[in-house]
Structure 1
Amino acid sequence: MAGRSRPEAAVIASPHNPRIQAWARLKMPRERRRSGRFLVEGPHLVAEALHDPGLEAVLVAADRAEAPPLRSIVEAVEALRAAGRPISLVRLGAAAVRRLAETETPQGIFAVVRLPSPEGAWSAIVDRAPFILVLDGVSDPGNVGTLLRSADAFGAGGVIVGPGSADPWSGKVLRSAQGAHFHLPICTLAPEGSGGSAYPAGAEDPCGAVGLSEADTSEATSVRAAASGLTAALEALRRRGVQILATHPRDGIDIEAVRPAGRFALVIGNEARGVSPAALRLSDQNVRIMQWGRAESLNAAVAGSILLYVLGRHRARFLSGEGMGR
């Protein structure tokens, strides 16, 4: 077809090819941070990534590129390339596919995407998001992915991932979140005093450890305010009038009784230890889910999803006027 872009010429067959090796290293957290890129796998996530301005390359199994469901994705990539988007479209041999795959049964398609701008993510969340999810040491990747998916479903405007939480850009989290990464700003905090960064070297990093400024008078100061970890991030939220709600299994009010009228953030704690003492000290209101059965507790992802649903419903009713005067 005239004007139709085609995949780059040769099939990359060897798993030892330098490009395959570089892409495969994106499965490691250190390489994601160093390069500022992450790898997604599977047709659903790759289709979601097509809408992301950070999409750099789509990698497809050569023997499946003309069969559904991959054919429609390849055609969409070709259309984007024809429209001027600088996206590589690379065909892979079976051994190269296996080298990149994290799943037991590879679906034959991957995408390489740039990590979002740390400045943009921080500003979108702290300065503008009305409803924020904060993860305080949620360590299981499946739980983190499920909570991101629920935040996306129930109207959260962004997610702050505190120290000790699973890397939100890992393959398991990406698969569990089912595309939420491409809908929500996500800011990952480094531990206080670590000097570390969740983003590549050289980037201005609101999520690294630089120290907390006494005043919050400019965007640059605002960016540094999150730098010393979760405590500083919550303090930055409070300075902007964001109400902090922290989960607590005993010392909390029933979530059904909470009626947040302004901006608010929900803090979900570690699976075993709960919300950290530092975060609890900054909480404006501790909340919990009332239980009537005999189960001692709920899984962090289940509990967090219920809380996100209830708070999202309250917010939707408030915005529609249904909750006024109650």
Structure 2
Amino acid sequence: MPPITSPHNERLKELRRLARKRGRDESGRFVAEGEDLLAAADEAGWRPVERYCAAGSGLPGTEVEADVLAHVSQLGSGTRALAVYEQRWADAPAGPLCVYLHGIADPGNVGTVLRSALAFGAASVALGPGCADPFGPKAVRASMGAVFQVPLARASGDVAALPGTTIALDAHAGSGPLHGPLGEPATLLIGAERAGLPEALLEACDRTARIPIRSESLNAAMAATIALYEATRGEDAGDHRMSAA
């Protein structure tokens, strides 16, 4: 089959639609770009709906002329390979270790939290109101393939629906330092850097904790990473994910 040579090709138009949240919401699909991300998807057992590659690259997929593929790429430097996948959402947040995000609007932060959740063996990541789409291009790239391995769930902000002991990260001095390992099923709740978690949500949690720092605040993804490290300190990083299976 000859390569696609026109940026107006209908299949490529669909790729551009999936770059926008509305397109992803309507189709339930998303795009991953780059050979490393596609290899991570293959390793995790995700089968692409469509796969495209630059003509002459020798990579699997429908061939597209390199300059035309670059035209639909969301990477500044273009790409040699990209693929379309069906989104996967868990029915509910799962333990024994869950990370709940609230109001994290930066897709890079969401993707980085997924990467940290995978590194420290979290069983799931739950996304509450105001969070960026984890299947958006920036979040998928920042996850470095973790989006294909960490179960994702939508959450309404109802603390009672979260698994285990609910521990809210709160920067206020009244919160005690976060000490680990936790040694029990738990959900770590992380809010946006400036706004933090809503007061009502803080009050509904079993307890609050803070990360002792000398500055005013931490980037949300950094805070989540430190909290995950502390929560699992001294444990095998695979324990939580194996227990959730």
Letter in 2 for 1:27: A
1:284 partnered with 2:211:
no
Q: Deviations over 1:277-322 (max 9, x none)?
A: 232122111011112x4x22222111211111111225549x7xxx
> CA 1:314/1:162 → structure 2, altered by over 3 Å: closer, same or farther?
farther
Q: Which of 307, 312, 326 is the aligned partner of 2:227?
A: 307
Secondary structure of the 1:230 match is: coil
Q: Deviations over 1:89-147 (max 9, x none)?
A: 2111134312321111112110110111x3xx124x33xx2100000111111111111
What is the match of residue 184 of structure 2? Answer: 262
Letter in 2 for 1:47: A
1:35 partnered with 2:27:
yes
Secondary structure of the 1:287 match is: strand
Tell which structure's C-alpha radius of gyration is larger.
Answer: 1
Q: Which of 21, 42, 46 is the aligned partner of 1:53?
A: 46
Cα RMSD of the aligned pairs, angstroms, is 1.8
Q: Of Structure 1 and Structure 2, which has the larger fraction of its residues in helix?
A: 1
Letter in 2 for 1:122: D
Q: Deviations over 1:158-195 (max 9, x none)?
A: 00011101111111111111011111111234xxxxxx
Q: Which of 145, 160, 174 is the aligned partner of 1:235?
A: 160
Letter in 2 for 1:269: G
1:177 partnered with 2:177:
no
1:148 partnered with 2:117:
no
Letter in 2 for 1:183: Q
What is the match of residue 243 of structure 2? Answer: none
Q: Which of 111, 130, 134 is the aligned partner of 2:83?
A: 111
- Supply the distance in 1 between the matched residues of 2:37 and 2:146 (Cα, whole angstroms): 9
Secondary structure of the 2:232 match is: helix
Shift of 1:46: 0.9
For residues 151-230 of structure 1, what are the structure 2 equivalents within 5 Å?
151-189=117-155, 229-230=156-157
Secondary structure of the 2:115 match is: helix
Secondary structure of the 1:261 match is: coil
- Supply the distance in 2 between the matched residues of 1:285 and 1:175 (Cα, whole angstroms): 33
Report if aligned partners of 2:165, 2:185 keep a CA contact under 8 Å in 1. yes
Letter in 2 for 1:305: T
- Supply the distance in 2 between the matched residues of 1:13 and 1:176 (Cα, whole angstroms): 30
What is the match of residue 91 of structure 2? Answer: 122
For residues 68-87 of structure 1, what are the structure 2 equivalents within 5 Å?
71=59, 74=60
Runs of 4+ in 1 over 6 A off after TM superposition: none
Secondary structure of the 2:70 match is: helix
Report if aligned partners of 2:51, 2:62 keep a CA contact under 8 Å in 1. yes
What percent of counterpart residues are identical?
Answer: 34
Secondary structure of the 1:55 match is: coil
Q: TM-score, normalised by structure 2?
A: 0.90
Letter in 2 for 1:59: Y
